[in-house]
A = this chain, B = another copy of it.
């Protein structure tokens, strides 16, 4: 009997996840029913935002229960099909999680026919991270030409994409990242105006003020409350804070977070802070993906991917997101690429 591997939640995580929160198990490859397709997945993503469903309490997605497959975006190839919309050999973008195989009735499964970019982009810069950057700037920040933008966790795909899209609108863009290598890439390859290695500066407040001496119109934040609170006093009148991600807070209980204290600036400087989950924009995904694809093809939008090998390495790949070791979109190859 043919089997496949998947990774399930062993027990809910408290604080920074560790290997014992996860368990690799082996399952029989299921038989397909009427209207179904069997997908063999070869790429799956690790995302900091997934941390929220591992605590056992509901967030924007329902919390995972022990024994359930860890959720993620995935790319696979159709191996069997009882569904007229899908043929054997079709490459599809699904959400099968950390699992080498999955069954689907076809709903939510997207056939990938555009070959201008590698398949991996569909769960990277054309996937949730790139779309979050796109709609975070467009719908939440309502970014205007020539504004001043600060992006945190800037070397991640969300941040790097947001910064480059802002540059394309003539904005002055500063990125904060955690290594000289990341900063060099942001400045030299992505064209950021200013970069700050927060691990290397003695005074981050001063570094931000030096980079943005006239204040900040848009903070595109992927870090969390401490970063937002630090930047609030530097926001210009009418400034917007896009709450895109909170990598520094995901592993902390609310009571242990530093807390946003500079709220009086919300009144004095008419600030707006708003969070997004990009699934809300799904009707507009086509337009955004085409825009991003054209920019990449034209050499106007850069991205980085790290492809880690082996489903057994998914937990460590995920845990590493919280230590700053990752650089660019981190994906895991969990099966052979299609021919």
Contact = CB atoms under 8 A, between A and B. Distances in A.
Contacts of A260: 225, 259-261, 263
Interface residues of A, number: 38
A115 interface: no
A272 B273 contact: yes
A254 interface: yes
A272 B272 contact: yes
A4 interface: no
A224 B263 contact: yes
Contacts of A246: 263-264, 267
A267 B257 contact: no
Contacts of A272: 272-275
A254 B264 contact: yes
A245 interface: yes
A188 interface: no
Given A264-B246, A267-B60, A274 B277 contact: no
A52 B268 contact: yes
A264 B276 CA distance: 11
Interface in A83-123: none
Given A273-B272, A274-B271, A274-B273, A255 B261 contact: yes
A246 B273 CA distance: 17
Interface in A25-82: 49, 52, 59-60
A243 B267 CA distance: 6
Interface in A231-288: 243-246, 249-250, 254-255, 257-277, 280
Interface in A187-228: 224-225, 228
Given A261-B254, A261-B259, A273 B266 contact: yes
Interface in A263-320: 263-277, 280
Contacts of A244: 267
Interface of A: 49, 52, 59-60, 224-225, 228-229, 243-246, 249-250, 254-255, 257-277, 280
Given A59-B268, A243-B267, 11 more contacts: A52-B264, A52-B268, A244-B267, A245-B267, A246-B267, A260-B261, A266-B274, A267-B277, A270-B275, A272-B272, A273-B273
